[in-house]
Amino acid sequence: MKKGLYTLAAAGLLSSAPAIAGGSSVPVDNSDPGFGAAGDVEIMARIPAPDPSGIAVIDGRLFLSFPKHDGDHAGPVLAEWKDGKVQPFPNDLWANRTDADPSNHLISPHGLTADARGHLWAIDDGKVKGQPIPSGGAKLIGIDPVSGAILSKIILDRTTLPGSHLNDLRIDLTHGTAGTAYISDSSFDGHHALVVVDIASGRQRRVLADHASVHADPGFVTFLSGRPLRADPAKPSFPGGGVDGVTLSRDGRRLYYAPLSSHRLYSLPTALLSDFTVDDAALGAAVVDEGEKGSADGLATDPWGRIYTTAGEQDAIFRRNLDGSFDLIARDPRFVWPDGIFADEHYVYVTLGQWTRLPRLNNGQDLRKPPFLVARVPIQPPG
pLDDT in tens, 76-94: 999 999 999 999 999 999 9
Task: State the pLDDT confidence band at 7, using cuts at 50, 70 and 90.
Answer: very low
What are 130-187's pLDDT values in tens digits?
Answer: 999 999 999 999 999 999 999 999 999 999 999 999 999 999 999 999 999 999 999 9
Instruction: Please enumerate in sequence order all residues whose Cβ is within 8 A of that of 5, keeping only pairs 6 or more positions apart, or say none.
Output: none
Q: Which helix (H) or strand (E) holds 282?
A: helix 280-286
What is the reported pLDDT for 326? 98
Using alpha carbons, select from 52, 35, 138, 49 the residue that is nearest to residue 351.
52
- On the question of pLDDT at 59 being above 60, the answer is yes
The Cα–Cα gap between 297 and 246 comes to: 9
294 φψ region: left (φ > 0), alpha (ψ -120 to 50), beta (else): left
What is the reported pLDDT for 15? 43
What is the reported pLDDT for 361? 79
- On the question of pLDDT at 6 being above 50, the answer is no
How many Cβ atoms are within 10 Å of 360's Cβ, its own excluded? 13
What CATH number belongs to 38-378? Answer: 2.120.10.30
What is the reported pLDDT for 68? 96
Say which range, 31-40, 104-113, 154-163, 173-182, has the weakest mean pLDDT: 31-40
Using alpha carbons, select from 234, 238, 254, 236 the residue that is nearest to residue 246.
254
- On the question of pLDDT at 23 being above 90, the answer is no
Task: State the pLDDT confidence band at 32, using cuts at 50, 70 and 90.
Answer: confident
Q: Answer for the pair 201, 179: CB distance below 8 angstroms, yes or no.
A: no
- On the question of pLDDT at 352 being above 90, the answer is yes
Q: What own/partner pairs with CB < 8 Å and gap ≥ 24 does 71-75 have?
A: 71/129, 71/358, 72/128, 72/129, 72/130, 73/49, 75/49, 75/50
Say which range, 212-221, 249-258, 301-310, has the weakest mean pLDDT: 212-221
What is the reported pLDDT for 236? 66
Report the percent of the chain where pLDDT is more than 90: 79
Mean pLDDT of 106-133: 98
Phi, psi of 15 (to 5 degrees): -70, -25
What is the reported pLDDT for 346? 98
The Cα–Cα gap between 247 and 245 comes to: 7
Q: What is the mean pLDDT of the chain?
A: 92
**Residue 169 CB-half CA count within 13 A:** 31
Task: State the pLDDT confidence band at 21, using cuts at 50, 70 and 90.
Answer: low
What is the reported pLDDT for 307? 99
Q: Answer for the pair 336, 356: CB distance below 8 angstroms, yes or no.
A: yes
Mean pLDDT of 8-32: 57
Report the percent of the chain where pLDDT is more than 70: 93
- On the question of pLDDT at 231 being above 80, the answer is no
* Higher-scoring residue by pLDDT: 252, 26: 252
Cis preceding-peptide flag for 338 (omega within 30 of 0): no
Q: Is the pTM of this model over 0.85?
A: yes
Mean pLDDT of 272-279: 99
